[in-house]
Chains A and B, each alone.
Chain A
Amino acid sequence: MTIATANRNLISELESVLPAGSKSEPAVSKAWEQFIQTGLPGQKSEEYKYAPIARQLEKLPALKPSAGDVLLPTPLPQFLSGQTCNYIVFVDGRFSSAKLADKEVKVTTRTTEESHDAKDPFEWLNAAFSPSLTIITVEEGVALQHPIAIVYHSSGRGTLVNPRWTLQLLKGSKATVIEMCQPHAYELFQNKKSVIEAGEKASLEYLILQDGTPAQTEVNHTEVRCALSSYASCFTISLNSRFVRNNMKLVVDGSQVEAHLYGLYLPSGDSLIDNHTVVDHRQPESFSNEMYKGVMNDRSKGVFNGKIYVRPHAQKTNAFQSNRNILLSENATVNTKPQLEIWADDVKCSHGCTTGQLDEEALFYLRSRGIDKRSAYAMLLHAFVAETFKEMKMTQWKETIDGLVTSRLLKV
């Protein structure tokens, strides 16, 4: 079967499971029109060159959203056990419930309207299947006492889940946010779209933890918009999934913004983790720093694509990017590509990417002191990857991630 026919089949399959009557809603019908116009990215798609998503979706059971509302007892992920959080729970991609610890957090819903600048077909697909948008708001001037935890549960009844939410950090507010799936073993496709708007002088620490869903295929659209004098620090930690594509977009929409994007990916087996990032400097005098690191084992694949745009108006921008990779096996691969487009002339930008093996001399040095090969390996890899989460201010999360990463690295 060629990819072209596969696409057609997938699209008609998707059309057949659009909720009854939803196409009569203008927003849904428009989103669906846009989606079929763009189609699913095929082999020739530049953006999905190394992430053959259509072929991957073909392997999954028939794609369908779960019918009706699913009410589930929703246990909290182990990662958050014992922690008081503002929980916002999605089941099968739909907003289910909120359990809020801080009164300054509000959750509302309204009809989805996809923004006109959406380019990726999966954003339109999400809009077509998510007629309702969940909006979380943090009041002006409030430093939240507890983190916001956005948790995705799966009942196993739907194979197509489209969570969609927006978080607004109003002027001068401060929040720590985690987004994760409750671990499950279902074969399903998660197609997420989220936007965080950090208002003027707002401060955000944001962790996306991808772990515990070994059979899940994911495409995640994550957008973080930073207004004047805001601060954002984002961590995307991908430990365990079959096929992950993260589209992370950071929009620097004000001056005096400080923004950090960190990423860590540890694919193994036959898995693929693809991080496409965009840092878009639209206003002058802001700073962004991006550091992504990957360790590829077995037959796995890693992909990094980092775009930095510095618009003509964005003078005095400082934008830095680095991507470093270690291949542990001869059959593992990584494709990395920095893409800088700079229209302003008074900026400081740099990028660098490296791919290599573990330093044999360093390994021998540790072993010559009595440390066994496996521990020496783990020590060196840990030192390599720990840089991607060492700036995390939520020490409890940082330590748990450190533990998860360490135990993963001891297995290689």
Chain B
Amino acid sequence: MSDTAERVKKIVVEHLGVEADKVTESANFIDDLGADSLDTVELVMAFEEEFNVEIPDDAAETIVTVGDAIKFLDKSAAA
């Protein structure tokens, strides 16, 4: 597992209070992990803090699964 994936999953587990094994890359924040709209905003803000990046609203809207978040953050780290 990449470093990004590990950090993302740690944040998701902490914020949503879900079991670590449920946080797969295909897991949908809302449908699979029980997040509500506030949770998704909190997660985006936590990602921004952890990875020291800014995630604009239109990009945040495309992050619906754990894998989406990892992909976005990997890409922004490479940029």
Our verdict on whether A and B bind, yes or no, reads no
The interface of chain B, by Cβ under 8 A from chain A, is none
